[in-house]
């Protein structure tokens, strides 16, 4: 799947189980892409739950090459959130995706882009999950998020945990801060990524199905 935006062509991978009632759009983090093994693993778990998933590149191939050297784009949150909003517009025009309730699964800096987009698109975004996210980079948009939001952080990820505690205090939407014992930033410890998938999957099933019924 290719998204032709105003100034970029972005590639994505779409999986939709038969009868899917919700769609989870992955918003990857710093230096990552649609090929992230962690996000692909979580996406497969969501598919088994009956949720459609979209993994896509926030950057073009040329931008990705520049970012790998200079990190010029990975912290450009306004650009990332703009790209995400444009992709959501494309999805709404798509026959297969247009009627599905949308949830956003953001990681690292991608979580900030997801939260800003949720604040700007309250009618479009039904739920948000942040995995080890830099939610603080969403700034003043946090107070405007209406979508139910789950912040998942590893207990050993001290700096990001502290930032997410602060973000949680700024959110006024239904929310939860879930701290996974023994996990670091990338949830590489045995069984920890599965815990992330389980928490996130339950959150999306609850809130995407509710929006679909409504």
The pLDDT tens digits for 112-144 are: 999 999 999 999 999 999 999 999 999 999 999
Residue of 189 and 6 predicted with greater confidence = 189
Residue 69, exposed/middle/buried by CB under 10 A (0-12, 13-18, 19+)? exposed
Yes or no: say if 20 and 50 are a contact pair by the CB < 8 Å rule.
Answer: yes
Q: Could you say which DSSP state residue 108 is in?
A: T
What is the per-residue pLDDT for 46? 98
Residue of 153 and 56 predicted with greater confidence = 153
Helix, strand, coil: what percent of the chain each, to 5?
45, 20, 35
Give all domains of the chain, ordered by start, each with its CATH number: 2-213 (3.40.50.1820)
Q: Find residue 128's DSSP bridge partners.
A: 104, 149
pLDDT per residue as tens digits for the range 36-79:
888 999 999 999 999 999 999 888 888 788 878 877 777 889 98
What is the per-residue pLDDT for 72? 74
pTM over 0.85? The answer is yes
Mean pLDDT to the nearest integer, 182-201: 97
């Amino acid at each position: 799947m290719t998204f032709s935006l105003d100034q970029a062509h972005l590639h994505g991978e779409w999986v939709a189980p038969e009868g899917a009632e919700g769609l989870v759009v992955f918003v990857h983090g710093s230096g990552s892409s649609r090929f992230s093994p962690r996000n692909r693993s979580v996406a497969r778990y969501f598919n088994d739950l009956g949720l459609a998933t979209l993994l896509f590149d926030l950057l073009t191939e040329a931008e990705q090459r520049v970012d790998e050297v200079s990190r010029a784009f990975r912290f450009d949150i306004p650009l990332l959130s703009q790209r995400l909003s444009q992709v959501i517009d494309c999805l709404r025009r798509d026959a297969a995706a247009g009627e599905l309730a949308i949830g956003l699964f953001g990681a690292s800096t991608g979580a900030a882009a997801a939260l800003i987009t949720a604040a700007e698109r309250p009618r479009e975004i039904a739920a948000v999950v942040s995995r080890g996210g830099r939610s603080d980079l969403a700034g003043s948009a946090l107070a405007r998020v209406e979508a139910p939001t789950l912040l998942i952080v590893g207990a050993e990820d001290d700096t990001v945990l502290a930032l997410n505690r602060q973000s949680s205090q700024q959110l006024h939407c239904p929310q939860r801060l879930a701290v996974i014992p023994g996990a670091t930033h990338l949830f590489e410890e045995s069984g920890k990524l599965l815990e992330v998938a389980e928490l996130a999957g339950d959150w999306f099933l609850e809130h995407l199905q509710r929006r679909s019924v409504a």
